C-alpha cells in the first residue's frame, strides 16, 4: 500500500507541474484580459493555490506514508483527497459538457486519482 501512496504523491506532483503550465497552455496572458480585473486575479490566485495544495499533498504522501496508512488522521487525509478527485471528476460533466477526446482522457485521469487515494482506505 505504501507504493500506492507514493504513486498518489507523484500523481499530485504531476498536476502541480501541469497547473504551472496553464498560463502558456491556455494563453492566459491574452485570454484573461477579457475578464474583469477581479475575475482575472481570482483565476490566477486559485491556480497558484491549487499548485500549493498539490505540492503539499505530494510531500505528505512521500514523507508520511506509514502515518497515512495507520492513523485515523491518515485515513481522513486519504479519503478527503479521494473525495477531492471524485468531485473534480463530477465537475467535468457539469462545467465541461464537451464531447472531446481530451476531456474524456482528463475524466479518466481524475478517476485514477479517486481510486489511488481510496484504495489504501478501502483495502486495510
Q: Per residue in 24-44, pLDDT tens? A: 999 999 999 999 999 999 999
Mean pLDDT score, 56-70? 98
Q: What is the pLDDT of residues 92-102, one digit of tens each?
A: 989 988 787 88
Whose cell is 479519503? That residue is 79
Alpha helices in the chain (DSSP H): 2-20, 22-25, 28-31, 37-63, 65-70, 72-95, 101-122
Domain residues for the domain of 96 are 2-122
pLDDT of residue 5: 97
Q: For position 49, what pLDDT does the model report?
A: 98
Q: Is the pLDDT of residue 124 over 80?
A: no
Q: How far is residue 52's CA from residue 58's CA, in Å, rounded to a whole number?
A: 10
Which residues, other chains included, contact 84 with Cβ-Cβ below 8 Å and sequence gap of 6+? 113
User: What number is the average pLDDT over the span 6-22?
Assistant: 98
The number of distinct structural domains making up the chain is 1
**pTM of the predicted model, to two decimals?**
0.92
Percent of residues, the chain, with pLDDT higher than 70? 100
Q: Single out the residue of 47, 70, 52, 43 nearest to residue 13, CA to CA.
A: 52
Amino acid at each position: 500500500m505504501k507504493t500506492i501512496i507514493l504513486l498518489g504523491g507523484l500523481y499530485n506532483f504531476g498536476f502541480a507541474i501541469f497547473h504551472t503550465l496553464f498560463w502558456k497552455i491556455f494563453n492566459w496572458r491574452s485570454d484573461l484580459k477579457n475578464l474583469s480585473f477581479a475575475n482575472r486575479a481570482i483565476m490566477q490566485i486559485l491556480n497558484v493555490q491549487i499548485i500549493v495544495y498539490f505540492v503539499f499533498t505530494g510531500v505528505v504522501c512521500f514523507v508520511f506514508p506509514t502515518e497515512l496508512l495507520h492513523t485515523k488522521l491518515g485515513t481522513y487525509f486519504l479519503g478527503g483527497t479521494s473525495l477531492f478527485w471524485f468531485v473534480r471528476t463530477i465537475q467535468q460533466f457539469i462545467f465541461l459538457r464537451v464531447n472531446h477526446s481530451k476531456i474524456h482522457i482528463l475524466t479518466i485521469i481524475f478517476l485514477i486519482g479517486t481510486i489511488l487515494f481510496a484504495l489504501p482506505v478501502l483495502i486495510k
